Amino acid sequence: MKGLTSLIRLTRQARTFSAPPTMSAPRWKPQRAKDLNLPEWVTPSPFEWHWSGPLTRSELIMCKLSWALRSKPDWQRKAADPTIRAKWRQEAADAMGEYMFESEDHVVKGPLLTEAMIDYVLDELEGHKKISDNERGVERACFEGVWYSDRILSEESREQLKIAVRVLEDIPEEEKDWHPGSNNQVLDLVHPSLYPIVYGRTHAYLPNQPRENQNFLPVWAESASQFDRKWASQKFCWMPSDLSVDADSGAVKLVSPYINNMHLAIHKPLYPIVEEVITALVPLWERVLGDVIAPDRFTVLERFSWVNSGRIQNVGCIWESYGEPSPDDEDCPEDMSYEEFADQYRAALDKNFPEANTYKGQLEEHVRPVSLRGRQIQCIVKLANIHLTPEKPEYEGGNWHVEGMMNERIVASGIYYYDQENITESKLSFRVATEEPGYHGQDDDYCMDVLYGIGRNDACVQEVGSVISKAGRLLAWPNIFQHCVSPFRLADPTKPGHRKILAVFLVDPTKEPLPSATLIPPQQLRPAGETMEEVYDSALSAAGDTSEDSNPAGKGRLPFIPRELRDLVKSHITESVMTLEEAKAYRLQLMEERTVFVVDHTEQMYQAEFNMCELDDEGSLSAALEGVDIVLSALGPRQFDHPSGTPLAHAYEGLIKLMKQHGINRLLALGTVSVEDKADRFSVVFSTIVAGANVTMHNAYKDIRALADVIRNSSLEHYTIFRVPILSNNPSREVVAGYIGDGKLKNHVTLNRAGFAAFVVAEIEKKEWDLKAPVLVSA
């Protein structure tokens, strides 16, 4: 049974799902016989709750072992050599002792890495070889969703980028743009926080609107719940550029007139190499998105490729009977405390530890790349250097964060580490937020610690691996993973050192495009003024006379424009551009906003605490209900291993009793279509669903029906039971409410999560379904 936080966190979790428009099927097909049809894309956002449970410690150790082997030079050839493979197996077996679990009181101890797990990892290497693009060196890295290549970009391209960047680096010291707060270690060459979109200030040529000087971009107003919107900036947005991906070759070409903060003339050599880097990122992003998108599958557990990966056998409980066992008081010897006796009793019991499956091609089956070819994408570009000196020899590393805010819609990132010198090894680490683990008894710390390494009041987040950021490496990952740069320092403390990166952020290609450099003229004062002067000069040059006294009307690009008129035009240009001082002032405001955002977002979305109190813990539950007016409960059964005895119904009895004590008279509860209502009529579709639930999930079926009876027979003055068929990633957020067989539902059986959440929140005010049990489906 879920704990107290499942009851309280509905408004944090369920209200934040989104579903984008339908996309076409992917072109790339994995190396397997079965043809997979993906009719829809559903790209997850770091600003939504994803409802994926944690992985076991053992599975994370298996991922770590696999990445260690695949990080070896020429690993594919070595993995095929029986002698080397045997050596790897022996080395892993020798390390098994390092992966033993033992609780502090020695009650629970056992293996976290077994020989079967080692065999699985070794057998899976063949799968990694199959899913790799060996021609371009594209491989999966430390974890699902993280892909890299060390040779998709040639050494020649890397040298070209080094040379092209010099025009940004070789400038007077006073003009260098050291990132604020970086202790003059991070040099911004091209950064999206400088000259960003400023809502109400940035000028844009909007579609289907006259090209007037007062076309200023309004505040971001995309449809979103109030919870969603707090992750969106109401002031700023990084400016993307539009690019096209060739349907045949995959080559990327800039569609927008420019990339923000890259001068078309001065930085011209950079443009083709940036296009080349993004071209190389496309096949990585196709695999990144393939690991995290969810076609409209029937179960939430299939949402991400790492959930149900097939590595580990079905994880139950370490105890034979679910929940931490306790001996009878009567059996405790007189010369021993009960706590000591209980510890000895538990230590002597047999325990179930996770074990690996046999590898049968699970990896290939779960790789589902999409295709970006033939599409127009939006990207945000960043160039930055980290410089260390003997006076400042160490970089302290970064904080855990995702890229951008909600209104930038960044779905994936890519970094090209194109140059580094005289620095120690550095890594980029990744972690993912998880749902609370499904635990099996109140205060069962042992089970949660053994299985997941998550204990009472720990954050529901797991680190899933790290990748060395070495020169020449191209790396890509999904933005639902927080990432963090590890510290590094000078290798030789007597000499300077540096690391240089080109970062590119991919805007969600499944949603409507953001205002971009296609619609927004350059905001920098210098390019705008220079463009006007170039037009003027070209007219005079074409006439063969550069004096202002001449008037070669009709010759050149424009006829002669008097200085007075040019100054007047220039004064109007300045209304839609910014001075450098103004842009830097906006940058400080943007950084201040995002500093607060990163802290709040991390705490609420990546560090939610695991609360182990049960709903029969009256003290904790009563404290949680203090000052509450309405209870929204997403409490629901486990599907196939739900315990007998209708524990949910009993929990609701206690909950309603405490609600009455606190003067709370309204409950909005989650139910399923297994719950009957007198307004229902016969439906073949829904009858089939209910009959299937009764047969395959009988305990859950009985409990959800008993739960509804408890609510209906209680003394609550107001309640609503929202009967949900199949929660899915249906792209339609529009919700239809009705009763089975009444014609309104039209035999639809799926419900979009965001639509469900929005409907429930709206019902708080409307009270349209008070004392009723509507079925909710997506239109």
Report d(CA 299, CA 311) in Å as an integer.
19
Q: Which of 166-170, 233-237, 764-768 has the lowest mean pLDDT?
A: 764-768
564 and 646 co-located in one domain: no
Q: What is the domain range of residue 264?
A: 152-290+370-518
Residue 700 pLDDT level (bands cut at 50, 70, 90): confident
The answer to whether position 386 is within a domain reads yes
Assigned token pair, 330: 């009567």
Alpha helices in 626-668 (DSSP H): 647-661
570 and 654 co-located in one domain: no
Task: Identify which has the larger pLDDT, 610 or 533.
Answer: 610
395 and 249 co-located in one domain: yes
pLDDT exceeds cutoff 70 at 236:
yes
499 and 550 co-located in one domain: no
375 and 240 co-located in one domain: yes
Q: Which of 81-90, 182-191, 364-373, 443-452 has the lowest mean pLDDT?
A: 443-452
The answer to whether position 714 is within a domain reads yes
Assigned token pair, 393: 């020899």
Assigned token pair, 117: 């797990």
Q: Is residue 401 within 8 Å of 433, Cβ to Cβ?
A: no
**Which residue has tokens 């194109």?**
418
- Residue 116: name the closest of 89, 82, 85 by CA: 89
SS (H, E, C) 282-333: HHHHHHHHHHHCCCCCCCHHHCCCCCCCCCECCCCCCCCCCCCCCCCHHHCC
pLDDT of residue 225: 47
- Residue 708: name the closest of 617, 638, 772 by CA: 772
pLDDT exceeds cutoff 50 at 543:
no
pLDDT of residue 41: 57
Neighbours of 143 (CB within 10 A): 26
Give residue-wise pLDDT tens across range 499-508: 999 999 999 9
Give residue-wise pLDDT tens across range 634-684: 777 766 567 667 878 888 888 898 999 999 999 999 999 999 999 999 999
641 and 560 co-located in one domain: no
The answer to whether position 609 is within a domain reads no
249 and 157 co-located in one domain: yes
pTM attached to this predicted model: 0.76
The answer to whether position 606 is within a domain reads no
Cα 408 to the chain's mean position, in Å?
Answer: 13
Mean pLDDT (whole number) for 361-375: 90
Question: In the chain, how many domains are there?
Answer: 3
658 and 723 co-located in one domain: yes
The answer to whether position 30 is within a domain reads no
CATH number of the domain bearing residue 730:
3.40.50.720
Report d(CA 749, CA 752) in Å as an integer.
10
The residue count for the chain: 779
509 and 540 co-located in one domain: no
The answer to whether position 245 is within a domain reads yes
Report d(CA 689, CA 692) in Å as an integer.
5
Q: Percentage of the chain surpassing pLDDT 90?
A: 52
The answer to whether position 399 is within a domain reads yes
402 and 497 co-located in one domain: yes
Extended strands (E) in 449-530: 461-468, 473-478, 482-485, 488-489, 497-507
pLDDT exceeds cutoff 70 at 554:
no
pLDDT of residue 210: 59
Q: Percentage of the chain surpassing pLDDT 70?
A: 81
558 and 432 co-located in one domain: no
pLDDT of residue 650: 81
Assigned token pair, 314: 């079905």
The answer to whether position 767 is within a domain reads yes
Task: Identify which has the larger pLDDT, 477 or 511.
Answer: 477
Among candidate residues 518, 542, 568, the one where a domain is terminated: 518
Report d(CA 542, CA 532) in Å as an integer.
16
Q: SS3 for 139?
A: strand
Assigned token pair, 592: 């201040």
- Integer CA distances (angstroms), 353 to 109, 124, 315, 448, 548, in order: 10, 21, 8, 12, 87
773 and 741 co-located in one domain: yes
Burial 341-375 (b: 16+ CB within 10 A, else e): bbbebbeeeebbbbebeebeebbbbbbbbbbbbeb
- As a whole number, the mean pLDDT across the chain is 83
